[in-house]
Amino acid sequence: MNNDIIFILDAGGTGFKFSAVSDYKEIIEPFTIPSAAPTLEGVLQKLLDGFHRCEELCGAKSRAISFCFPGPADYPNGIIGDLPNLPTFRGGVALKQMLENEFKVPVFINNDGDLFVYGEALGGFLPSVNALMEQQGNPKRYKNLFGVTLGTGFGGGIVINKVLLNGDNSAGGEIWNSRNCLYPDTIAEESVSIRGVRRVYARESGITFDEAPQPADIFKIANGELEGNREAALKAWDELSTVLADVISNGLRFTDGLAVIGGGLSGAWPVFMPMLIKKLNTPYVDKNGNTIPRMETEAFNLEDAADRLRFTEKTGKMITVPFSNQQVWYDPSKRVGVGITKLGTSSAVAIGAYAFAMNQLQK
């Protein structure tokens, strides 16, 4: 057994992606096994086979196994509930205990959104922004990170001062079923997802959903790189940014820090990020016509060079303490920043899973 090797799994409804991490670096080439199988035993055997293959590729046993798995689940106890995308999981599956029985090492299971944000908080987006502030002589440091993943589904997670917020019911940071501000009878994920982008493009183009291109092409159409209905493409990303802004603004009201975006759709940030930031900074108007800030803080696009400079630069002034000659620094500005994954979503999940396991083992 190696005291530093942690076996990692990024589990989804269509595939199980395995890896191994040591000293915060992946030490084998990740490999994926299709997750589909007609029986629960068949799915579980794929998990066992994948981790045994990790042992073969590493030439050593691991100190622990740490991975993300779809919910609903009792993550601390490693029991997986009834899964929409893996229909053989029903009635509670004691996955943690099964793997500990097989591999004789501790097993830790979390949500993918949680591990993504944890990885970005410890080794990606959060420290990179703080490093830029240090370079500019700005004494302020950010400690809190709210993150979302945009893809087949809509995931989220929260890290407060290097501590992952799991919640009392393994549901901390779960934002996929927030109310959809454009279509209040449904959930945010219906707009902030692959199907949401395709659905709007199809509606605006007068075509069927099955005829709609994939989001990567809808991004290129919106960006003028590919022929298609550009107005429909822009509308698709505009609706995503509207609903996403509503969720992120609520998240930032609680965390009051930075926000990071990952997942397959995050690659379209050049189109939707300016829309998102504009919506975050657009004030409300009360019944008397007065404007009220959407948040108590101003949001900055940390993918934009000018915004990033304004966000990280040193601001404020020295003020005098009453009844003394003493002076202290005062910066009245309240700023939050939004940016895209620095590690890449899959790598962030792997780093987050590794860090979570090492932290638990140290305890």
* Residue 36 and residue 85 share a domain: yes
The pLDDT of residue 71 is 85
- Look at the block and give the residue holding tokens 């029903």: 90
Element (H, E) at 131: helix 125-135
* Residue 171 and residue 100 share a domain: no
* Residue 89 and residue 189 share a domain: no
Residue that finishes a domain, picked among 77, 110, 143? 110
Contact 147, 157 (CB under 8 A): yes
Q: Is residue 323 part of a domain?
A: yes
Q: Is residue 1 part of a domain?
A: no
Q: Is residue 301 part of a domain?
A: yes
The pLDDT of residue 194 is 96
* Residue 211 and residue 105 share a domain: no
17, with CB counted inside 10 A (0-12, 13-18, 19+), is: buried
* Residue 126 and residue 11 share a domain: no
The pLDDT of residue 1 is 53
Q: Is residue 130 part of a domain?
A: yes
Cα distances from 69 to residues 83, 89, 218, 220, in angstroms, run 10, 12, 29, 32
Q: pLDDT tens for the chain, 363 residues: list them.
A: 557 999 999 987 789 999 999 998 899 999 999 988 999 999 999 999 999 999 999 999 999 999 999 888 999 999 999 988 889 999 999 999 999 999 999 999 999 999 999 999 999 999 999 999 999 999 999 999 999 999 989 999 999 999 999 888 888 888 999 999 999 999 999 999 999 999 999 999 999 999 999 999 999 999 999 999 999 999 999 999 999 999 999 999 999 999 999 999 999 999 999 999 999 999 999 999 999 999 999 999 999 999 999 999 999 999 999 999 999 999 999 999 999 999 999 899 999 999 999 999 988
Tell me how many domains the chain contains: 2
* Residue 46 and residue 163 share a domain: no
Residue that finishes a domain, picked among 110, 132, 154? 110
Element (H, E) at 318: strand 317-320
Q: What are phi and psi of 360, to 5 degrees?
A: -65, -35
* Residue 149 and residue 178 share a domain: yes
* Residue 183 and residue 126 share a domain: yes
Q: Is residue 14 part of a domain?
A: yes
* Residue 95 and residue 182 share a domain: no
- Burial of 292-328, coded b for 16+ CB within 10 Å and e otherwise, reads eebbebbbbbbbbeebbeebbeeeeeeeeeeeeeeee
* Residue 211 and residue 83 share a domain: no
Quick one: CA torsion of 19, 21, 27, 31, rounded to 10 degrees? 10
Task: Report the CATH number at residue 321.
Answer: 3.30.420.40
Residue that finishes a domain, picked among 91, 110, 129? 110
User: Residue 92: which domain range?
Assistant: 6-110
| Residues composing the chain | 363
* Residue 198 and residue 325 share a domain: yes
The pLDDT of residue 305 is 97
The pLDDT of residue 32 is 94
CA distance 338 to 198: 24
Q: Is residue 349 part of a domain?
A: yes
* Residue 207 and residue 133 share a domain: yes
- Look at the block and give the residue holding tokens 């930031």: 277
Helices and strands: H and E segment counts in the chain: 10, 19
